[in-house]
Amino acid sequence: MRPSTSTTRSELLHNRLGAVGVALKRLNRGDLTAVAALRQAIRGLREALPVLNLEADAVRKLDARLLKTARRLRPVERIDALLASAADATLSDRRVRQAEARLKNELRRRRSKLDLGIIAKKTTTHLHKVLDRLGYMADQLIGTRETAAALRARRWAVKARAARRALDMKRALNEAGSVYVPGRLGPLRRATRRLLGGVDVLADVAGPVHAGDVKTLERMSEVLDRLRDTERLVSHLRRLQGALLPPELKVWQELDDLTVALEHRARRLHGKYVREREALRTAGDRLGARHSAQASARRKAS
């Protein structure tokens, strides 16, 4: 179990603003891994904003700007994820080494077209006013006290949102089934990531969260991300094959061998998901039951 916390609204907001600031500094230093970290930090900040009881119109506008910035970073994060997946997929089979080199070179070429310096400058410009405004709001919250009713309402809202997302994840889990079909686990991957974001705020606002459930969600989220990236590599290889001229049959065969190897890798990742899907269901059941039990007790008390 994670220890019980009494995170104030100002701490909740300051902590997430700090995470965005750190990732933004890394991006400006040219850190190629910072884009994914920045998008994740922005998701964490957006996750906390609705439960801070701030001025609704201002929060809505700031949230829209954060979302717009995160979407602008998505193409860079996608290429970075493919490059990481391609490096992770390096095989010992000599037959596919040239195909691996061709794939990685093509991805690096696409990555080089996305100028990190320009992206960092634009991102900093777009985020500057948002972070300043939210920083001012966080400072204004220092020393303020919530009424007991407001605090209970905030905790209730966070628990309800986590329970709803747990239900969404279990529904996606049921719809995904256990038979491998490329792309079928996309809704489950997104639902798991959203639940993870809700659990992070839940731990800060409403107290302890079962550590095993958090680890299960994190582990399965990583597996589903790797599966998605592997499937995207397969699609990219097929496009490379389609662009080849008929005389390049040897290259086509090498690309095909690499495609088959990556498809096997995708099936192994899917097998790992199948072996652990019940643990994922248990985590969802526990997170949903926690709110349901409290809701029942609240109805009886009233």
pLDDT digits (tens, 9 = 90+) for 168-205: 999 999 999 999 999 999 999 999 999 999 999 998 88
Here the tokens at position 6 are 């009494």
Place of tokens 């995170």: 7
Cα 92 to Cα 230, 235, 260: the distances in Å are 17, 22, 14
Q: Which of 74-83, 106-115, 200-209 has the highest mean pLDDT?
A: 74-83
Cα 150 to Cα 6, 14, 51, 153: the distances in Å are 14, 20, 11, 5
What's residue 291's pLDDT? 58
What rounded mean pLDDT belongs to the chain?
87
Q: Judge whether 40 and 171 are in contact, CB under 8 Å.
A: no
What's residue 139's pLDDT? 93
DSSP 8-state code for residue 30: T
Taking 50 as the threshold, does the pLDDT of residue 93 lie above it? yes
What pLDDT band is residue 162 in, cutting at 50, 70 and 90?
very high
pLDDT digits (tens, 9 = 90+) for 222-239: 999 999 999 999 999 998
Structure pTM?
Answer: 0.86
Q: Judge whether 287 and 195 are in contact, CB under 8 Å.
A: yes
158-162's contacts with Cβ under 8 Å and 24+ in sequence apart are 158/51, 158/198, 158/201, 158/202, 158/205, 158/206, 159/202, 159/206, 159/290, 159/291, 159/294, 160/291, 160/295, 161/198, 162/195, 162/198, 162/199, 162/201, 162/202, 162/287, 162/291
Q: Judge whether 45 and 177 are in contact, CB under 8 Å.
A: no
- From 89-103, 191-205, 227-241, 246-260, the region with the lowest mean pLDDT: 89-103
Cα 272 to Cα 40, 187, 194, 219, 223: the distances in Å are 24, 17, 21, 10, 8
What's residue 279's pLDDT? 94
- The backbone torsions φ and ψ at residue 247, rounded to the nearest 5 degrees and listed phi first, read -65, -20
